Chain A
C-alpha cells in the first residue's frame, strides 16, 4: 500500500531522518513508535506531502508520489489526522465533515454562485454522506455545534470523521490517543478496528503502548531518526535493542 524507500530529511545541518524504508501492508494497522524526537511526525509530514524528503521516495500503490502536494495525495486516497487536532474551528461539525467530501464533489465557483440544479442535488448528497460519517464516529448530536468549542476528545472524533469522509485507502493518524482519557482511548481502539474492517489501511504514530500492542498488526520502531526494528508487536516486545532504546533497560 504505502512504501517508503530510503527516506532522509535534513533541516539545515540537522539530520532528522536517515535511511527509512518500510512497507505498510494493505488492510493492516501499522504502528510507528519510538521515543520523543525519533522523527515520527517528520516521517508523517513527508508521507503526506507537508514537506518533501531530502532523499528517498514515497510510493502509494507503486506510484511515486514524492513530489505531489497534499491535496493531490488526498485525491489518491492518502489522508491524515494531526497530533494537535487541526479542525476548521469557526465552522460547524457538519460543515467540517462536508469539507472532507470536497474531493467527491465538483461544483466550482460558477455553479455554486448561480445555484445550478446539479449543485443543489450535490449539496444534498454531501450533507447526507457527512451525516453518515458523524453517525459512524458517534457524534451525530453535535452536528450543528461550532467545531472550535468541542472538547479534545470530541474534536479527535470529528477529525477522524472528516478524514474518513474522503474514503481514504490509507489513513495516517498522528498520536490519536494523545490527550484522551482511558475510556476514550478504549473507544478509539474500537473505532480504529472498525475503520480497518471497512478495508482502510491504517498507519499510526502512537505513544500509548497498550493501545499499540492491542490493535497493531505490524510495528516500525524509530530511534534518533533511523530505523531500529520492524516486526509484529510480539517480535518487537522481545527485541533486545528496542527494549534498551525505548522501553528502558532492565
Chain B
C-alpha cells in the first residue's frame, strides 16, 4: 500500500519535471500526445488487461469525445469545459447502452462487434459533413482557457493534459486494488467461478466498458482543444489497433504499463523518422520480437530481464 503511494508520487514528479530539460522544444509537443495516448491506453487496459474483454472500437469513443467537444464549441459556441463534461456523460451513457448487448459476446465475436462500433463511428464522422466537416475536417476549435489564461502553447497543454492523465491514473490505481478491481480480475480468470462467488459479471463488464469509454471521450475532448483541428483519419480503425499495441507492449493488466506503452508507441514514429520509408520494417520487427520475448509486456519483461542478468554477474564475481 505504502510503496504504491511512493511509486505514484515519484511518477508525478517525473511528469512534472519532464519538460524542463526539453525547454519547450518539439519533444514537449510529442509528450502532450503521450499524455492523451496514456489515457486512451489505460482506458483500454482496464477493459482488456483487467476484465479480459477486448475492444477494437476504442477510437470510436475517442472520436465521439473529440467531435462532441469540437462541434459543440464551434457550431454552438458552448463553453468548452461544459461541453467536455456533457460529451463525456453522453458517451458514457451511449457505451452503457450498447454495453449490455455487445458484452454478452465473447472472444472473436466481441472483437467483431466492437470493431463494428468503431467502423460505424468512423463512417459517421466522414458522412455528417454539415456537423463534422466530413473528410476535410473540423477547424477553428478554441483552446481551453481558465479566465484570461489560455492553454495555447505546448508547455501549457502538457500540464493540462497530464493533470487529467494523472487523475485518471490515480483513480485507476485505486480501482484495480479494490473490491471492484478484484471482481474484474476474477471475471478475467474464470467467469463461471466469479459468478458462483456472487460477482455480477454482466453488470461489472458493462461498467468497466463504460468507464473505458468515458476516459477515451475525455481524451478526445482534450485532443480536439489541443489540436484545434480534427479530421476522421485520427479516429480510424488503425488508431484502435495502435492502442491495442500500446497496451500489449506496455503490459496487460498494468496501469503503468499502459503509460509505458503509450510513451514508446508515440515516440517510436518520431525516432524512426531517420529511416524514412523503412520505419515500418523496424516497427514490425519490434512488435514481433516483443510478443515473442516479452509476452508480459515491458513492465514485467524489464525486471525479469534484470533478474536474469544479475545472478549471472554475481556468479562470475
Q: Which residues of A contact B (CB under 8 A)?
A: 48, 50, 69-71, 74-75, 79-80, 82, 86-91, 95, 98-100, 102-103, 105, 107-109, 112-115, 119, 122-123, 126, 162-163, 166
| A-B CB contact pairs (8 Å), 29 listed | A70-B196, A71-B195, A71-B196, A71-B197, A71-B201, A80-B196, A82-B192, A86-B192, A86-B196, A90-B185, A90-B189, A90-B253, A91-B182, A91-B186, A91-B189, A95-B185, A99-B197, A102-B179, A102-B198, A109-B180, A109-B208, A112-B179, A112-B180, A113-B171, A113-B172, A113-B174, A119-B179, A122-B179, A162-B197
**Contact mask for chain B residues 192-236; partner A; CB cutoff 8 A; 1 contact, 0 none:** 111111111100000110010000000000000000000000000
Residue of A nearest to B196 (CB): A70
Q: Which residues of B contact A (CB under 8 A)?
A: 171-172, 174-175, 178-183, 185-186, 188-190, 192-201, 207-208, 211, 253
Q: Which residues of A contact B175 (CB under 8 A)?
A: 109, 112-113
Contact of A126 among B174, B179, B253 (CB under 8 A): B179
Q: Which residues of B contact A113 (CB under 8 A)?
A: 171-172, 174-175, 178, 180
Interface centre among B175, B196, B208 (most CB of A within 10 A): B196
Q: Which residues of A contact B183 (CB under 8 A)?
A: 99, 102
Q: In the bound complex, do residue A99 and residue B196 qualify as a contact, i.e. CB atoms below 8 Å apart?
A: no
Top 3 nearest A-B pairs by Cβ distance? A74-B198, A112-B178, A103-B198
Given the contacts A71-B199, A74-B196, A115-B174, A95 and B182 also touching, CB distance less than 8 Å: yes
Q: Which residues of B contact A103 (CB under 8 A)?
A: 197-198
* Nearest CB of A to B203, in Å: 9
Q: Which residues of B contact A90 (CB under 8 A)?
A: 185, 188-189, 253
Contact of B185 among A71, A91, A114, A166 (CB under 8 A): A91
Query: CA separation between A109 and B211, bound complex, in Å?
Result: 9
Residue of A nearest to B201 (CB): A71
* Nearest CB of B to A97, in Å: 10
Query: CA separation between A162 and B193, bound complex, in Å?
Result: 10
Given the contacts A112-B180, A115-B174, A119-B178, A166 and B190 also touching, CB distance less than 8 Å: no
Q: A86-B192, A103-B197, A108-B180 are in contact. List 4 more A-B contacts (CB 8 A).
A: A91-B189, A99-B183, A108-B207, A112-B181
Q: Which residues of A contact B190 (CB under 8 A)?
A: 86-89
Q: Which residues of A contact B185 (CB under 8 A)?
A: 88, 90-91, 95
Q: Which residues of A contact B171 (CB under 8 A)?
A: 113-114
Q: Which residues of B contact A48 (CB under 8 A)?
A: 196
Q: Which residues of A contact B188 (CB under 8 A)?
A: 90
Q: In the bound complex, do residue B178 and residue A123 qualify as a contact, i.e. CB atoms below 8 Å apart?
A: yes
Query: CA separation between A90 and B179, bound complex, in Å?
Result: 16
* Nearest CB of A to B3, in Å: 14
Interface centre among A71, A90, A91, A123 (most CB of B within 10 A): A71
Q: Which residues of B contact A166 (CB under 8 A)?
A: 197-198
* Nearest CB of A to B42, in Å: 13
Interface centre among B172, B181, B193, B253 (most CB of A within 10 A): B193
Q: In the bound complex, do residue B195 and residue A69 qualify as a contact, i.e. CB atoms below 8 Å apart?
A: yes
Residue of B nearest to A147 (CB): B189
Q: In the bound complex, do residue B200 and residue A71 qualify as a contact, i.e. CB atoms below 8 Å apart?
A: yes
Q: Which residues of A contact B181 (CB under 8 A)?
A: 112
Query: CA separation between A225 and B171, bound complex, in Å?
Result: 52
Query: CA separation between A221 and B198, bound complex, in Å?
Result: 30
Q: In the bound complex, do residue A86 and residue B178 qualify as a contact, i.e. CB atoms below 8 Å apart?
A: no
Contact of B193 among A88, A115, A122, A123 (CB under 8 A): A88
Query: CA separation between A48 and B198, bound complex, in Å?
Result: 11
* Nearest CB of A to B187, in Å: 9
Q: Which residues of A contact B172 (CB under 8 A)?
A: 113
Query: CA separation between A88 and B197, bound complex, in Å?
Result: 11
Query: CA separation between A74 and B198, bound complex, in Å?
Result: 5
Q: In the bound complex, do residue B194 and residue A88 qualify as a contact, i.e. CB atoms below 8 Å apart?
A: yes
Query: CA separation between A166 and B172, bound complex, in Å?
Result: 27
Q: Which residues of B contact A50 (CB under 8 A)?
A: 192
Q: Which residues of B contact A126 (CB under 8 A)?
A: 179
Q: Which residues of A contact B211 (CB under 8 A)?
A: 109
Query: CA separation between A74 and B190, bound complex, in Å?
Result: 16
Query: CA separation between A19 and B280, bound complex, in Å?
Result: 65
Q: Which residues of A contact B196 (CB under 8 A)?
A: 48, 70-71, 74, 79-80, 86
